[in-house]
């Protein structure tokens, strides 16, 4: 298309103008660490829920989910079901526990259980994983945006990065939350628009598309055999989702920090539930977009260009949706879709920046300078936002110049480093006998396994040792969590029990304390409201 009409430009300008104004609006309030990172617990649950939704639905989601559905089926949707089930099973405990057990960083808990080395490791694992994601999130939007406008991809990356860093550094978590409310609504609007547009232009009508999709099993959730070693297995993806969302809810700063911004335990739980409830239908809609794209090109008989295929002639599903946006969306609708794409990148990046700064201040700066004033910590937090934002932009431009494979080694390293965090939490929370020596034994085994599996059989495969990992990639993390749990617990019996363990640092002691205080009685009904 390479051109935009003035209504499109107005929509885009309004979007960027509003998010910048939100940052400026909250800038004057950022006079303490508590305000900058937790808004002093003043955010209503519905805003918190929309914020979680906007953070999770990134630009990678915009591309990966339709791409997976186009090239295959809806198997990638299965892990998302566990976002709800994990919350139903333990959200009411996790939310209250973290709100009463940590000051700001999720990783403070690991220091209480296993010492500062465990806290430093978990904080570093979080930082490495989310830092690598930000640059890729910026890069992901350039294919569609630049195809629709003809803009230079480096200008897009730098421009989006600059505005995101600006409102994040000025307005703190309040600016992040309220821009994400707007961004969440924009994403929903763009997603609904794409679905209705595809249904409207479908050759033969929507009925023909769904009949064709059903005939070719394009809406299947995968095979239901109990062979967990097979790719595309429903149960494999369900197990992966259980551990993935346990790790998100229990060890991911972006979610734990959301618990702390709410007005009460009850409000925090309602916000987390709302975020999950919004994500599941959104993920389903993204899968539907991919299936409808497949049906559209099948029914229209339109050939796809060579750049959408790999060297072996296999379709690259994640390139089809950007191609469709570039060639089929009329200019009058492009503005809203571009705003949705921009918001997908900016919401995730802004959330990560604020959380990385919180971790940097609490888990690093305060340890190096224990006598630092609140003002000095606030300045350090803003500086971390600036530096991390700048580096994310550089990573995004580097990927754009060298291709997506340019950072393969770094991504492999971060995948290895972040292994076992969910297992680490389970070990800390559900076992009184576990000690720091046992934890490190479990982590060591998990890291060795993850390195072997990732480098010899995962998507970052670099080595052929003759004896390589051959199971589905999604099970690498699951096995690592289980190794931390099993090896860590067993090894702990070879060392003396912790003498400074407080009862409320484990599930059993926490439940007893909460029952005495009556907190759990007030929380449980939230899930049935």
Q: pLDDT tens digits, residue range 420-439? A: 899 999 999 999 999 999 99
Q: What is the DSSP string of 306-328?
A: GGGB-TTS-B-GGGHHHHHHHHH
Q: Which residues of 28-58 are buried (b: 16+ CB within 10 A; e: fewer)?
A: eebeebebbbbbbeebebebbbbbbbbbbbb
Half-sphere exposure (CA, 13 Å, Cβ side) for 438?
A: 24
pLDDT category of residue 181 using cuts at 50, 70 and 90: very high
Domain of residue 187, CATH code: 1.20.1730.10
- Which of 444, 414, 443, 413 has its CA nearest to residue 426? 443
Contact of 300 with 82, CB cutoff 8 Å: no
pLDDT of residue 58: 85
Q: How many CB atoms lie within 10 A of CB 331?
A: 14
Higher pLDDT, 282 or 514: 282
pLDDT of residue 410: 53
| Average pLDDT of span 172-198 | 93
Question: Of 425, 476, 418, 474, which is closest to residue 78 (Cα–Cα)?
Answer: 474
In a domain, 457, yes or no: no
**Could you tell me if residue 224 is left (phi over 0), alpha (psi between -120 and 50 degrees) or otherwise beta?**
alpha
Q: How many domains does the chain have?
A: 1
pTM, rounded to two decimals: 0.89
What pLDDT shows up at residue 419?
Answer: 75
% of residues, the chain, pLDDT over 70: 93
Express each pLDDT in 429-487 by its tens digit.
999 999 999 999 999 999 999 889 888 986 767 788 888 988 888 888 899 999 999 99
pLDDT score for 286? 94
What pLDDT was estimated at residue 524?
Answer: 45
- What is the tens place of the pLDDT at every residue in 326-363? 888 877 678 888 888 899 899 999 999 999 999 999 99
Is residue 433 in a domain? no
- Domain membership of residue 196 (yes or no) is yes
Q: Is residue 498 part of a domain?
A: no
Distance CA 494, CA 91 (A): 33
| Interior/surface letters 218-241, b for 16+ CB within 10 angstroms, e for the rest | bbbbbbeeeeeeeebbbbbbbbbb
pLDDT at 64 over 50: yes
pLDDT score recorded for residue 135? 85
Specify whether the backbone of 2 is left (phi greater than 0), alpha (psi in -120 to 50) or beta: left
Neighbours of 344 (CB within 10 A): 26
Q: Lowest mean pLDDT: which of 281-285, 428-432, 496-500?
A: 496-500
Residue 436 lies in a domain: no
Predicted pLDDT of residue 62: 86
Q: Residues with Cβ < 8 Å from 444, sequence gap 6 or more?
A: none
C-beta of residue 49 within 8 angstroms of C-beta of residue 211: no
Tell me the C-alpha distance between 514 and 268, whole Å: 17
Mean residue pLDDT across the chain:
88
Contact 425, 97 (CB under 8 A): no
Whether 521 maps to a domain, the answer reads no
What is the spatial distance between Cα 261 and Cα 206, in angstroms, rounded to a whole number? Answer: 43
As a whole-number percent, the residues of the chain with pLDDT over 90 amount to: 57
pLDDT band at 528; cut points 50, 70, 90: very low
On whether residue 481 sits in a domain, the answer given is: no
Residue 109 pLDDT more than 60? Answer: yes
Residue 369 has pLDDT above 80, yes or no: yes
Residue pointed to by tokens 């860590």:
488
pLDDT of residue 343: 92
User: Does residue 327 form part of some domain?
Assistant: yes
pLDDT at 117 over 50: yes
Domain carrying residue 121: 6-302+321-405
């Amino acid at each position: 298309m390479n051109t935009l009409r003035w209504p499109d430009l107005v929509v885009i300008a309004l979007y960027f103008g509003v998010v910048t104004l939100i940052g400026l609006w909250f800038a004057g309030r950022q006079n303490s660490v508590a305000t900058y990172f937790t808004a002093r617990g003043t955010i209503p649950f519905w805003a918190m829920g929309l914020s979680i939704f906007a953070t999770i639905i990134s630009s990678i989601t915009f591309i990966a989910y339709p791409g997976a559905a186009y090239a295959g089926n809806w198997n990638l949707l299965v892990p998302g079901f566990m976002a709800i089930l994990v919350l139903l099973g333990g959200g009411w405990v996790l939310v209250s526990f973290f709100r009463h057990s940590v000051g700001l960083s999720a990783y403070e808990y690991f220091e209480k259980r296993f010492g500062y080395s465990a806290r430093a490791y978990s904080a570093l694992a979080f930082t490495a994983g989310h830092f690598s994601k930000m640059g890729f999130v910026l890069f992901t939007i350039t294919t569609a945006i630049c195809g629709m406008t003809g803009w230079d991809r480096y200008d897009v990356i730098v421009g989006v990065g600059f505005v995101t860093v600006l409102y994040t550094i000025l307005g703190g978590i309040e600016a992040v939350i309220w821009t994400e409310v707007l961004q969440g609504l924009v994403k929903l609007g763009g997603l609904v628009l794409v679905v209705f547009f595809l249904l409207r232009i479908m050759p033969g009508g929507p009925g023909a598309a769904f009949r064709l999709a059903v005939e070719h099993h394009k809406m299947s959730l995968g095979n239901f055999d109990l062979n967990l070693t097979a790719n595309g297995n429903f149960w494999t993806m369900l197990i992966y989702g259980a551990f993935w969302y346990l790790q998100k809810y229990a060890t991911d700063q972006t979610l734990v920090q959301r618990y702390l911004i709410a007005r009460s335990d009850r409000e925090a739980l309602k916000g987390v539930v709302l975020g999950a409830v919004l994500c599941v239908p959104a993920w389903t809609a993204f899968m539907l977009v991919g299936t409808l794209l497949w049906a559209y090109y099948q029914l229209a008989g339109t050939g796809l260009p060579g750049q959408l295929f790999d060297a072996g002639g296999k379709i690259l599903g994640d390139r089809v949706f950007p191609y469709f946006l570039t060639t089929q969306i009329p200019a009058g609708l492009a503005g809203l879709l571009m705003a949705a794409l921009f918001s997908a990148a900016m919401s995730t990046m802004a959330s990560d920046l604020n959380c990385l700064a919180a971790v940097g201040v609490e888990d690093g700066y305060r340890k190096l300078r224990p006598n630092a004033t609140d003002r000095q910590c606030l300045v350090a937090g803003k500086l971390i936002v600036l530096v991390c934002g700048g580096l994310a932009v550089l990573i995004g431009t580097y990927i754009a110049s060298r291709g997506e494979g340019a950072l393969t080694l770094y991504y492999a390293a971060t995948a290895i480093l972040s292994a076992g965090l969910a297992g680490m939490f389970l070990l800390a929370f559900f076992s009184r006998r576990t000690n720091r020596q046992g934890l490190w034994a479990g982590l060591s085994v998990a890291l060795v396994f993850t390195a072997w599996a990732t480098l010899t059989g995962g998507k970052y495969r670099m080595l052929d040792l003759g004896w390589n990992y051959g199971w589905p990639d999604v099970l690498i993390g699951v096995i690592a969590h289980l190794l931390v749990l099993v090896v860590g617990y067993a090894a702990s019996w070879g060392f003396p029990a912790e003498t400074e363990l407080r009862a409320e640092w484990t599930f059993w002691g926490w439940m007893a304390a909460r029952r005495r205080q009556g907190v759990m009685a007030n929380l449980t009904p939230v899930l049935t409201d």
